[in-house]
Structure 1
């Protein structure tokens, strides 16, 4: 198939990735290309994905703040939709988190992946508008069952295709360091690094963290003052260095303070055999099985500390075995099934339109 992939213009898609969505997009495109599909990616300037034709959405210049910046980004996505219509691909994979493709690409077969809870106001203004209905040749996939629930009130059908990772990339010969916990992710308030630090200290463990400082004010106010000999931030590591850091942990701390739609960092750690102590929120209850870790049912340092005590005793081979169900191959196969359904429905619609009244 000729597939156009539409992503957001916030960050270029390249390693080291700014977050899970950027990594997910690159990995999905690489698998589609490897499967023999012709893929064109509409993404921010500076995007680098081997094998894909990349069309720049927006220059790499700094964004304008607030509403002005949002208007610029939406304008870039609107322009990308016009190019996609002119290109007339067989199907579109929508990873944009934007209302533009829902408005402008109604005539094309399209799969929209729902990476966030049903809280994106510009998108909800479209889906909740009186009389709005999606075309029969559009498909919708959520990354988890928990994330699908609110979207199912708005859309006719939401399939669940769990996120996956390239399992063969998440390997390391590093051994766990006694008394060490690890954490990775974007450093923002909702990711809860400050709570991970406090819980690790509560059980007498050192914490080694990695990730981009996406919210400098939060980092300065709530993370930097907590750093010390027993708490180290290793910076923004790419996916060649990150596995070696994670593998040294006796336990991985997953501390989302919001309804985390999935949790790729958690799966990456489990793939290395690192058991997980996680706050029970969003999809954590789906991806952290009892054999892979322990869940803190309260958002408190004390509850997370208890989860750490249980999780660090888990068998690492069983943890890694559980993680194998979250493979990129399985994820992309699910996307292709839905894209093929959308293409088939689009063809059926075209045939029906040919039938005389």
Structure 2
């Protein structure tokens, strides 16, 4: 299907500050303590862009905080819940769609140069086809987006560009999205100081407490390695927590709560080893990188983007998917030099990440920089452009 859209107009391709709209995922506020890596990324990216002089407007749930301007499109008392009855799930989704729809309408009327889409919604694909937009892919392929692209309900606009947070995650999306680039997530190393209060015999774990994060495997691995496990994060799946995690509490397993940014940095730096235990193909894994920045070596299950993040200086990948293999990785990781671990984390900087985003956005605003659709190689092809 051939589509024509007007080329972008204005000054924004010549190095001047951009007017940038950021569409966030609306399940949670963009504020510390962050519910997950997506919220953390959105906050960091918006603040970094604003610090560079761009005029950033973040469309988000009420309670969000940003160095840019915040436009609240959903009340803070809205609570996203899973496992509701079908009619209640439908009403909940309708409220989310209405909120994002209002954000999209404000974007269309706001005179923005470019949009950064972190929303996980189909609506920006449909309603902003004539607007330069950079979509950052934080998840494996989402069926409501893939299906709409494949059946023609959401034909891809030449004004849209896509980047994946890891090469592993890109492999799932590349059959559907042309000119797919990889821009790894980054952090500000200064926000994650080297730990000074290491607790001997303790491994740490952080993340949303849900089955796919594999906390139950981490608990077993820590015990097999003869160490205690302390974990931080929100209990996002109460049934999983009560059934699988709570019975272990108090026997070498401690929940320290849902920590804000500063508390989390101190916590991550306190462990001898950080365990990353995803039991799914996790698209990135920010907490592993944050632990590395604090000097804490990582022992990880070898799924998702873990092999892209963890090199021989930073940690050890388990040689299998069971707790015994992870325990062996914990034992090996304890021996690593913490200064070299921290140095390894410096490969993933927020500055480099946002440099790449800026390059992508400015190329969208240059008529000669627009992608040529199917003529360009997808991620995974030898000629594809992969941005480290």
Q: Same fold (TM over 0.5)?
A: yes
Out of 101-110 and 221-230, give the one that drifted further: 221-230
Contact 1:42 1:80 in 2 (8 A): yes
Tell me, yes or no, if structure 1 residue 58 matches structure 2 residue 74.
yes
Which residue of structure 2 aligns with residue 6 of structure 1?
23
Counterpart among 236, 239, 242 of residue 217 in structure 1:
239
1:76-109 deviations in whole A, cap 9, x for unaligned? Answer: 1122111111112000000000000000001111
In 2: Cα distance, 1:265 partner to 1:189 partner:
17
Other structure's SS at 1:281 match: coil
Cα displacement (A) at 1:166? 1.2
The number of equivalent residue pairs is 347
Q: Identify the structure with bigger relative contact order (alpha carbons < 8 Å, sequence gap 6+).
A: 2
In 2: Cα distance, 1:300 partner to 1:345 partner:
51
Tell me, yes or no, if structure 1 residue 76 matches structure 2 residue 99.
yes
In 2: Cα distance, 1:4 partner to 1:268 partner:
27
Structure 2 unaligned segments of length 5 or more: list them: 1-17, 372-388
Which residue of structure 1 aligns with residue 225 of structure 2?
203
Which residue of structure 2 aligns with residue 261 of structure 1?
283
Structure 1 unaligned segments of length 5 or more: list them: 350-357
1:189-248 deviations in whole A, cap 9, x for unaligned? Answer: 100111111110111101111101111111111111111141110000011111111111
Which residue of structure 2 aligns with residue 355 of structure 1?
none
**Structure 1 pair 311/269, CA: closer, same or farther in 2 (3 Å)?**
same
1:299-341 deviations in whole A, cap 9, x for unaligned? Answer: 2111111111111111111111110011111111111100101
Out of 185-194 and 73-82, give the one that drifted further: 73-82
Q: What do you get for the CA RMSD once the two structures are aligned?
A: 1.6
TM-score, scaled to structure 2: 0.86
Other structure's SS at 1:135 match: coil
Cα displacement (A) at 1:125? 2.4
TM-score, scaled to structure 1: 0.94
1:331-346 mapped onto 2 (5 Å cutoff): 331-345=353-367
In 1: Cα distance, 2:344 partner to 2:157 partner:
37
Which residue of structure 1 aligns with residue 163 of structure 2?
141
